[in-house]
Amino acid sequence: MKKLFPLVAASVVLVTLASCEIDKGKLPNIEFKTGSVYTSSDAAKAKNDSVWIGIVASKAEDKDVLTTFDASRSYDGAAAVSFSGKTLSGIERDVYNDDILIVTRNQAGTEKYTFTVVNRDGIKNSVSLTLTVQ
């Protein structure tokens, strides 16, 4: 009996581990708002132009609420730098909306904007667009 117990215990552990499913999680949802007020895709803009970008993000699973939002920009292909970030709380953890006013630079070039949302599991999803300033 003493020799049988370790074998049974090991079998129970193996069956338990084999039946566990690794939850890879789902990407949180994020998209641009559309409509006449918003820029929601790559576009050509004038220098010093005002541009509204709207973002809607939501959780993809009940338990995996949103935790953070970040907006970053890159000028002319340089490394992206965050210009706005927020730790989400309350109802924002289920659905987050933001309208962001951007004023293009006073020089020609490209401005890439990336908007990222992260959920409780650390899974990120992003949308981006590039403004060509003329």
The per-residue pLDDT for range 2-31, each reduced to its tens digit, is: 565 555 555 555 555 555 555 578 999 999
Q: What pLDDT shows up at residue 6?
A: 54
Residue 89: C-alpha distances to residues 3, 69, 130 (Å) = 55, 11, 29
**Which single residue is written with the structure tokens 């309350």?**
90
Beta strands per DSSP E along 12-134:
29-32, 43-45, 50-58, 66-75, 81-87, 95-103, 109-119, 124-133
pTM of the model: 0.82
Tokens of 54: 């709207």
Q: Which domains does the chain have, with CATH numbers?
A: 26-133 (2.60.40.10)
Q: 1: pLDDT confidence band, cut at 50, 70 and 90?
A: low
31-56 average pLDDT score: 98
